[in-house]
């Protein structure tokens, strides 16, 4: 499944460092996302990395003046992000 940013019409994917971004017009392996329902509610988003599915989580990117959180591919022992989705009506 692919997710597209409606403002930029770019696909959500990841680059070689595993960070999530929406910067490409194509839908290939790095832009494939698999939502999996959790019994507790919400979804975990998995991405294909090689022959494996890996979860998306949050990493802290610390600089001298601030700490920014980014979404990144993490291993199964890290804490993943729980996502909720809402239906949005198209304005076409």
Alpha-carbon torsion angle 69, 70, 75, 78, nearest 10: 20
What pTM was computed for the model?
Answer: 0.71
pLDDT at position 92 is 58
Alpha-carbon torsion angle 20, 11, 38, 52, nearest 10: -70
Strands 67-73 and 52-62: antiparallel
How is residue 31 written in tokens?
A: 């832009």
C-alpha span between 57 and 86 (Å, rounded): 20
How is residue 22 written in tokens?
A: 């929406």
- Per residue in 24-46, pLDDT (tens digit) is 898 888 888 888 888 888 888 88
């Amino acid at each position: 499944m692919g997710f597209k940013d409606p403002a930029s019409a770019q696909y959500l994917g990841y680059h070689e460092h595993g960070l999530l971004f929406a910067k490409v017009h194509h839908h290939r392996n790095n832009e494939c996302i698999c939502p999996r329902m959790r019994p507790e509610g919400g979804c975990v988003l998995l991405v294909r990395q090689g022959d494996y599915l890996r979860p998306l989580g949050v990493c802290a990117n610390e600089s001298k003046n601030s700490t920014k959180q980014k979404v990144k591919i993490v291993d199964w022992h890290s804490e993943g992000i729980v996502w909720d989705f809402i239906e949005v009506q198209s304005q076409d």
